[in-house]
């Protein structure tokens, strides 16, 4: 079971790390991988509480693996952040800030820890931005430029 990070210390704001997973299509256009949340089925990016022994980018990469089966390269450049209300134990809403890191997807695994709990789908950045509920995340996705993160 995962520790709920700052919630357990009594802090009034939680911090999570998220992965903006992307690939380049055969035509050279960026595609963004979104997954569904376990509870509501909303489209989201992989995200979660800090992973002990990992930095923020490493925590984001771990969540991308666990929640979406992403194998790839995480980049340590924070793209920005967004906030949302994390529901804890079905009743308490914890204001939560998510730092977002780009992850170049090299492969999607067929089996991974949350394979039966979520759906995953590729979208253009413009379409992905319309699928997420959080306006700050939508803006990050819409503005995403993959050029600095391409392997040369």
Give the CATH number for residue 54: 3.90.79.10
Along the 152 residues of the chain, how does pLDDT read in single tens digits? 233 444 444 558 899 999 999 999 999 999 999 999 998 899 999 999 999 999 999 999 999 999 999 999 999 999 999 999 998 888 889 999 999 999 999 999 999 999 999 999 999 999 999 999 999 999 999 999 999 997 64
Domain count across the chain: 1
The reported pTM is 0.90
Classify residue 12: in a domain, yes or no: no
Here the contacts of 63-67 (C-beta below 8 Å, separation 24 or greater) are: 63/17, 63/18, 63/19, 64/19, 64/21, 64/103, 65/109, 65/112, 65/113, 66/112, 66/113, 66/114, 67/35, 67/112, 67/113, 67/114, 67/118
Write out pLDDT tens, residues 80-94.
Answer: 999 999 988 888 899
Classify residue 5: in a domain, yes or no: no
Classify residue 97: in a domain, yes or no: yes
Classify residue 109: in a domain, yes or no: yes
**What's the domain range around 130?**
17-149
Classify residue 128: in a domain, yes or no: yes
Classify residue 3: in a domain, yes or no: no
Classify residue 142: in a domain, yes or no: yes
Classify residue 56: in a domain, yes or no: yes
φ, ψ at 9 (rounded to 5°): -85, -5
């Amino acid at each position: 079971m995962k520790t709920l990070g700052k919630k357990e210390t009594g802090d009034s704001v939680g911090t999570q790390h998220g992965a903006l997973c992307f690939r380049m299509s055969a035509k050279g256009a960026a595609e963004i991988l979104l997954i569904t949340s376990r509870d509501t089925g909303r489209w989201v990016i992989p995200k979660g509480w800090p992973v002990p022994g990992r930095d923020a980018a490493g925590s984001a990469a771990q969540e991308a693996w666990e929640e979406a089966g992403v194998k790839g390269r995480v980049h340590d450049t924070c793209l920005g952040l967004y906030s949302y209300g994390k529901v804890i134990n079905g009743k308490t809403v914890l204001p939560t800030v998510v730092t977002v890191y780009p992850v170049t997807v090299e492969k999607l695994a067929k089996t991974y820890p949350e394979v039966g709990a979520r759906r995953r789908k590729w979208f253009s950045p413009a379409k992905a931005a319309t699928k997420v509920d959080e306006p700050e995340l939508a803006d990050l996705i819409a503005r995403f430029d993959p050029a600095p993160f391409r392997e040369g």
